[in-house]
Amino acid sequence: MKVNWLEFIVGCFLVAGITAAVVLALKVAGLTLDAGSGEFYTVYGRFSNIGSLKVRSPVKLGGVVIGSVSDIKIDPKTLQPVVTIKIDRRYSELGSDTTFSVLTSGLLGEQYLGVKPDFASMDDDGNPVYLKDGDTTNFTESAIVLEELLGKFLYSVSSAKTDNGSSN
Amino acid sequence: MLVESISNLGHRGICFLTALGRALLVLIHALFGKPQFRKHFPLFVEQLYVVGVQSVMIIIVSGLFIGMVLGLQGYNVLVQFKAEASLGPLVSLSILRELGPVVAALLFAGRAGSALTAEIGLMKATEQLSSMEMMAVDPLRRVISPRFWAGFVSLPLLTFMFSVIGIYGGKMVGVDWLGIDEGTFWTGTQASVDLYEDIAQGWIKSVIFAIVVCWVALFNGYNCLPTAAGISKATTQTVVHSSLIVLGLDFVLTALMFN
Amino acid sequence: MLQDSLIRIENVTFSRGLRKIYDNVSLTIPRGKITAVMGPSGTGKTTLLRIIGGQLKPDSGSVFYEDKNIPELGRSALYELRKKMSMLFQSGALFTGMSVFDNVAYPLREHTDLPEELIRTLVMMKLETVGLRGAASLMPSELSGGMSRRAALARSIALDPELIMYDEPLTGQDPITMAVLLKLIKELNESLGITSIIVSHDVGEVMSIADYVYLVSGGRVLAHGVPEQLQREKHPDVYQFIHGLPDGAVPFHYPAGNYLEEL
């Protein structure tokens, strides 16, 4: 009986350890059990400013995570940031006019890449054109940079004031 | 004078290399000794209990407190920048990448490693290992090997437990006491923690630490002078050496993994 | 008379560090007899047993067990050979984590695939031999010194060895326990024909049961023969040891400088 008891406790220990690993994977790393096909296709997006977007930032379509940013580089010719976007194969019917924009969750939260699908443009035969693996898209919206926003705001306020002053 | 000190250095170097060589032999015998599954499995289970289960308490308690302290300190700093939302990533990344593997390995060295050394040293001092050899039972296979494998399996599991408890401790302080939104905490965490880069690499670290700590502990026990003073010295050495090696190796591994 | 020998030690030299423990020593252990190896403390008697057991390798010379040269055996052959011999350590060396029963059952469980009932029967028989059947469920820490030696003896005969080496079996025992152990050693030798080597410095007690005696000192065999022969030996070293004189060929004083000068 003593051996059985020992084995039972050791079994509990192993189960607890493995459960801890699973909790880490599911709850902390945010792995979902239907993690998709596990296959991805890659699209490159040219941005003028990516703000504080990072490698591994999520790519969301209507709030649902469909992929992630896998790399960020500068194109040496245009000197613009190029973001490598990995999207789950299941969402392969994104039209070629789909817009990617750098958005912020909350006022100061994590930045992510929002996907706004557009009706796919048609080719000559009237078939819709989808984004393919390796495509580069220019339909992007850059991050809102707070300083620029403030600068614009101050400029518009001051110009409004001068307009008012001259009319008076 | 100079000649003397140089030859002294040489003597120490030779001693060190001999010890290393013997330690390697012990490790190789322990690892690659032909296991007899039916006879050795119960020994392995028994050692899992001694090495693993009996270390659970200290791991859980320290994990909880370390997580809570991280949550509290992290909150105090982050709140100045209105960045409490980053508390989740702060707590979970620091625990998963560094504190989990390292602190669990240090605690394991203190709790299980020293006990292993003392046990084996005492078995040696009371001629139990010798008598086993004379009974045609290889003590490396019968005594060292199950303990090594038990440690090898236990420490990574203990590290997982430590990390989970630590992160929940941080969450408890941040969310339940200081009022960060629970959703913010978890989404921030999930966005920044990667299964492979953070969790799997933390796991690799803990596996490597397990090998090092068990190796140091078992070798020190096996190689100690069979006297009371020898055993106490070996036990101290186990804790000191394995802690230093764990900390040093952690730096190397971090540099390699996270570049 | 030494024709049928179990172990032949030929020209063995063994040194520890710079100190020579054995210098070109040869001796023969007859089969089925009790051989005593005696000598003053610190002459490496235990070392001799460890050399026979293959735990230590001599610098030169050979140790034959029947026709196998022990220092040259490979690891697995050595382990195979060790199943035929066993050793009773000075401390008994029982495994402190198991009961007496499990200790005695240990070699059986390790080396045989016998069913548990049979192991139980065998263990009880061995324990009965040493008179400890009633103590089967005790832990080693609950035994007295003499009892733990008897338990260890039961363990060393568990696999019915051909050879038992007793390392100082009598040291530190009271006269009754000594008598019990001597009786056991003698009985095991007579009833089972186990070849026995006793390392000891309890001259009188061991001489009473030994068939042949080797006296070692200073890395050499000083004298050997049947006990009566040694009793009559006139060599001063031998005489001093056998008769237990405080001063003689081996001086009372450790070598030192002039007493008066040092004062």
| Domain coverage including residue A1 | 1-32
Physical contact, A and B (3 or more Cβ pairs within 8 A)? yes
Q: Residue range C148-175: average pLDDT?
A: 85
Question: A127 and A49: one domain?
Answer: yes
β-partners of residue C217 are C220
Chain B neighbors of A10, CB-CB under 8 A: 45, 48-49, 52-53
Question: A95 and A47: one domain?
Answer: yes
For C184-234, the pLDDT digits (tens) are 888 888 888 888 898 887 888 888 888 888 888 877 888 888 888 877 777
Question: Is the predicted pLDDT of residue B168 greater than 90, yes or no?
Answer: yes
Tell me which chain B residue has its CA closest to the CA of residue C79.
B136
Question: A137 and A56: one domain?
Answer: yes
Q: Rounded to whole angstroms, how far apart are CA atoms C73 and A27? A: 58
Tell me whether residues B184 and A106 touch, CB distance under 8 A. Answer: yes
Higher pLDDT residue, B89 or A145?
A: B89
Does any domain span residue A110? Answer: yes
Question: Is the predicted pLDDT of residue C263 greater than 80, yes or no?
Answer: no
Question: A28 and A53: one domain?
Answer: no
Question: A75 and A18: one domain?
Answer: no
Question: A101 and A84: one domain?
Answer: yes
Does any domain span residue A75? Answer: yes
Does any domain span residue A164? Answer: no
The shortest CB-CB distance from B199 to any of A13, A25, A58 is to A25
Does any domain span residue A83? Answer: yes
Question: A4 and A47: one domain?
Answer: no
Does any domain span residue A163? Answer: no
Q: Rounded to whole angstroms, how far apart are CA atoms A90 and A94? A: 10
Q: Predicted confidence band at B58 (pLDDT cuts at 50, 70, 90)?
A: very high
Percent of chain C past pLDDT 70, that is, above it, reads 97
Structure tokens at C21: 């423990």
β pairing state of C5-16 and C60-65: antiparallel
Question: A56 and A114: one domain?
Answer: yes
Question: A130 and A78: one domain?
Answer: yes
Q: Predicted confidence band at B259 (pLDDT cuts at 50, 70, 90)?
A: low
Structure tokens at A127: 């078939």
Tell me which chain A residue has its CA closest to the CA of residue B157.
A17
Q: Rounded to whole angstroms, how far apart are CA atoms C22 and C12? A: 7
For A92-139, the pLDDT digits (tens) are 788 888 888 888 876 666 788 888 887 666 777 777 788 888 888 888
The least confident of A139-148, C228-237, C247-256 is C247-256
Question: A56 and A109: one domain?
Answer: yes
Does any domain span residue A6? Answer: yes
Does any domain span residue A55? Answer: yes
Of the candidates B71, B73, B92, the residue with the CA atom closest to the CA atom of residue B199: B92
Q: How far is A57 from chain B (nearest CA, A)?
A: 7
Q: Residue range A31-45: average pLDDT?
A: 71
Tell me whether residues B82 and A108 touch, CB distance under 8 A. Answer: yes
Output b/e per residue, B139-148; b: 16+ Cβ within 10 A: bbbbbbbbbb
Question: A77 and A117: one domain?
Answer: yes
Question: Is the predicted pLDDT of residue A58 greater than 90, yes or no?
Answer: no
Q: How far is C217 from chain B (nearest CA, A)?
A: 25
Looking at the structure of chain A, the number of domains it has is: 2
Structure tokens at C63: 């140790």
Percent of chain A past pLDDT 70, that is, above it, reads 86
Q: Tell me if C226 sits within 8 A of C212, measured CB to CB.
A: yes
Task: Record the pTM.
Answer: 0.78
Q: Residue A1 has what pLDDT?
A: 46
Question: A23 and A64: one domain?
Answer: no
Does any domain span residue A152? Answer: no
Q: Does A106 touch chain B (CB under 8 A)?
A: yes
